[in-house]
Amino acid sequence: MNLPLRLALRDLRGGLTGLRLLAVCLFLGVMALAAVGSLSSAIVTGLAERGQSILGGDIQVGVSQRAATPDELAAFRAEGEVSHITRMRAMAARLDGQESVLVELKGVDQAYPLYGNFRLQDGALRPRPSGNEVAVGPELAERLRVGVGDSIRIGDAQLRIIGLIAEEPDRVGQGFTLGSTALTDRSGIEATGLVQPGSLYSSVYRIRLPAGASPDPVTERLSSRFKDAGFQVQDRSNGAPGTRRFIERLGQFLTLVGLTALIVAGIGVGNGVTSYLDSKRGIIATLKLLGATSRTIFLSYLLQIGIVALGAILAGLIVGALVPWIVVQVAGSALPVPPVLSVYPLPLLVSAAYGLLIAFVFALLPLARARTVPAASLFRGSLEQLRRPPWTLILAVIAAAGLIAALAIATAREPMFAALFIASALGLLLLLTILGWLIRWIAARLPRPKNPLFRLALANLHRPAAQTGRLVVALGLGFTLFTTLAVIETNLTGQIRTTIPEKAPSFFMLDIPVGEVDRFRALATRAAPDGDLVTIPSLRGAVVAVDGRRVSEMTELPEGAWFLRGDRGLTYAREVPEGSRIVSGEWWPRDYSGPPLVSLDVEAANAVGLKVGDNITVSILGREIEARIASLREINWDTMGFNFVIVFAPGALEGAPHSFMATISMPEAQERPFARAVSNAFPSVSAIRVKEVVEAVSGMLGQLSVAVRSAASVAILAGIAVLIGALAASRRARVYDSVMLKLLGATRSRILAAQALEFTVLALILAAVAFGLGAASGWYVVVEVLELEWAPDWGTVALTLLAGALVTLVLGLLGSLPALAARPARALRTL
C-alpha cells in the first residue's frame, strides 16, 4: 500500500487538473443534500424545542362552537394550571366606518401565556389589554391607519388600542390564518357580543403540567374520558402538526431532488474520471512497462480519486451545514419558526455516505478499464475496444448501488415513495442506456447521405469509440431533470391562476345570524345591485363514527381521510349544491322529512370505504346524530364556492344553533362600499375578500417555489457539469477525428458544422423523450407528493427544454474548439 500511496501523492502534487470536474460534481451534490437536511433538522428541532411555547402549554384541548362544561373544566384543572383562550374570525373597523379588515380575534385569561412571552412594541400604554382594550398586530394598525391610543370597533364593542404586538408565542401553533391578531382579555371578547350559539369560534384550554410530568398519560387519559365530546387533544411534542408535516414532506422532496442532483453528478464523476485517466495513458503505460502491476496502478489512482472526493465531500458538508445560518440571515422572517442553529450530525453523515457511495459507483468502472488494459495496447491509441472489468468489481458496484438505495429508503419519511424514486432513477438510467445503443445501431444502418456534412455527422454517432451512449445518458438525465423541475415550478406559480374560476366570488361572508338572513339579503341587494348572492346554513361538527367504527378507536386514520380529523363544516340543503354531481345513490326530495340522511363527497367515502346505505355519525355540540348515506357526490373544488364534504337532508340540523354563510360576486368598484355597509350594519359578520385569500396563498406557494428553485439550481449546475464531463471524456477521440479530417482536406467550419448537426440530432431526440418522462415525473410530485392541482404551463416548460437544448449545443461546440485547434503534427505524436 506504501507504493500506491506515494505514487498517488506524487501525481497530485502536479495539481487537480483533470479531477476538478469530479470535485465540482461531488461538492454540488453533497452540498445540496447537507443543506436540505440541516435546514429541515434545524426547523423541526425548533418546533420540538419550542413546542410548549408554540402550543401554549404542555397539553391543549380544543373544541368548536362551545365552551367546556364545569365537569370538563374540573378535569382539566385536576391535571395542572389551565389557561382558557377563545379564538374566532371577526371584522375590525375604524370608528368612522371607512375601513374594515378581517382579524383573528383572541380572548385570553390572566394565565395566558403559560409558556413563552407575550410582548408589545415600545410605546405601549400597558403590558397587556384589559376590559375594553385590545392589542393588535402592526399589519392591522397599518391597514386601518390607526395607532396606539386610537379605538376600533369589533362586533358591538369599541376597543382602545393599547399597543402593537411584538411577540405572540403561540402564533405558529394556530396554523394558517388570514388576518392579523387582535388580542383582548375575557371581558373584552365578551363585550364584542360575537360569541353566540351557532357562531364560528373555538375554545382552547391549555394545561401546564407539574414539573417533570410526562404529557403522554395525560393526553391518553383526557382523550379516553372525553372521546365523544368532540375535543381535539394534542401535546407539546407536536405543537404545530400542520407546519411540522409540511416541513418534513417538503424536506423529503428536496432531499430527493438533492439525491437526483448527486446521481446526475455521479455521471459527471464517471466522465471526469474517464477523462482524467485518458489524459494519464502515457504515465500508466510507462509505469506498466517499468514493472508496476495492474493492482498498483488501480490502487494508486483509486487513492488519488478518493483523496479528491473526500476533500470535495468535506467542503460540501461544511457549506451545507452553514446553510441554516445563511437562510436565517437572508430570509429568517419567512420561516415558520426560528431554526435552532447547530451542527446536525445525522444529515451530514447521510450526505457524506451518499457522496462516497456515488463516487465509488461511478468511478470504479473507469478505474477498472485502466487496470485491465495491457501496456502495449495503451501505445496503440484509444479507438480499440476495452475489455469487460472483472466480475468482482462489477459486483462491488452493484453492492454499492444497493447501499445507496437502502440508505435512501431507510432515511425517508415515506419509504414507498423513496423506493419508487430509486426504481424510477434506475429505470431512467437503463432506458437512456438502451436509447443510446439504439441510436448507434440505427445510425449504423441508415443509408449514407450524399452530402458530406450529413454523412460525417451520421458517422460521428456510430463510429468506433463514439461517445453517443455517454452523451445520451448525460443529456437525457439533464433534460429530464430540467423538464421535471419546470413542470413543478410552473405548477406552483400557476396554482392560483388556473384554479380560480373566471367568475370567482368577491367575498365570503361568515357568521350571519339566522334571524338576520333576510335583512342581510336586502342590504346586499341595495349595496351591490349587480352582485350575485348565495346564502347557505353553516354548522361545525366532528365525525365520531363511520359505519359503526368509532373514529377515536382507530389506531391510524386511512390515507385521505382528512375529514375525520377534528371539526368539519356542515350544512343542510334541499337541492344538490352548485358545483356537485351525484355519482352514486339519489338526492332526497325537496320536501323530505324522514330519518337523517347525508350526501358525502365520493373521495372522502372511498378513503374510508363507505358506500350508499352505510351510516355515519356526527357530533354537533356534544349531541350525536347518526345518518344514512343517501348519495355520493363529485365536488368541483375549483368553483371557490362553499363546498361541504357532508351535506344533511332537511329536518336534522335546523334546530341546532347555527349561522349562515354567503358568497357574493360583484364588480370591483362596488367591493369597498359593500364591505363598509356590511361592517356598519352587521358588526358580527366577517367579510373575507377573495383577493386577500389569493394573496396569502400566493405568498405561501411563492416560498415553496423558492425552495424548489434553490434545490433545482444545484441540480441544473450538476447537469451542466455532467455535460462538460461527457465532452471532456470524448476530447481525445474528437482530437483524433479533427486531425484525420484536416489531413483529408476538411476545413474547421465544416468539421464544426458536422459536430453541431450531431449535437442537434441528439438534443432533438432526447428533448422529445425528456418531455414525456419529465411531465410524468412532475405530475407525480405535484399531485401525489405536494397534493396540489395539476396546472402546468406547457409553454414555459417547452421554452425551458429548448433553452436546455441550446445550452447543450453551445457547450458542445465550445467543447469542440480545443479539438479543432489541435495542430496535426503535434497531435499525431501524442495520439
- Which helix (H) or strand (E) segment holds residue 396: the answer is helix 391-410
Question: Which of these ranges, 331-345, 557-571, 626-640, 705-719, has the smallest mean pLDDT?
Answer: 705-719
Residue 540 has a pLDDT of: 83
Helix (H) or strand (E) holding 168: none
pLDDT for residue 179: 74
DSSP-assigned letter for residue 389: P
Question: pLDDT digits over 228-256, tens only?
Answer: 777 888 877 665 555 556 666 666 666 66
- The predicted-structure confidence for 486-522, as pLDDT tens digits, reads as follows 887 777 766 655 555 555 677 888 888 888 888 888 8
178 pLDDT more than 70: no
Least confident of 23-27, 164-168, 203-207, 616-620: 23-27
> 586 or 177: which carries more pLDDT confidence?
586
User: Which comes out higher in pLDDT, residue 402 or 313?
Assistant: 313
Residues 682 and 677: their CA atoms lie apart, in Å, by: 8
- Whole-number Å distance between alpha carbons of 106 and 103: 9
What does the pLDDT average to over 396-420? 75
- Does 728 score more than 70 pLDDT? no
Q: How confident is the model at residue 588 (pLDDT cuts 50, 70, 90)?
A: very high
Reported for 65-68, long-range contacts at CB under 8 A and 24+ positions apart, including other chains, are: 65/197, 65/198, 65/199, 65/200, 65/201, 65/202, 65/539, 65/540, 65/567, 65/621, 65/657, 66/203, 66/621, 66/622, 67/203, 68/203, 68/205
User: What pLDDT does residue 510 have?
Assistant: 82
Q: What is the reported pTM?
A: 0.63
Q: Give the range among 43-57, 672-686, 814-828 with minimum mean pLDDT.
A: 814-828
Instruction: Name the average pLDDT for the chain.
Output: 78
The answer, yes or no, to whether residue 93 has pLDDT greater than 60, is yes
Instruction: Please answer whether residues 485 and 708 qualify as being in contact, where contact means their C-beta atoms are separated by less than 8 angstroms.
Output: yes
pLDDT > 50? residue 383: no
Report residue 190 as a C-alpha cell: 365578551
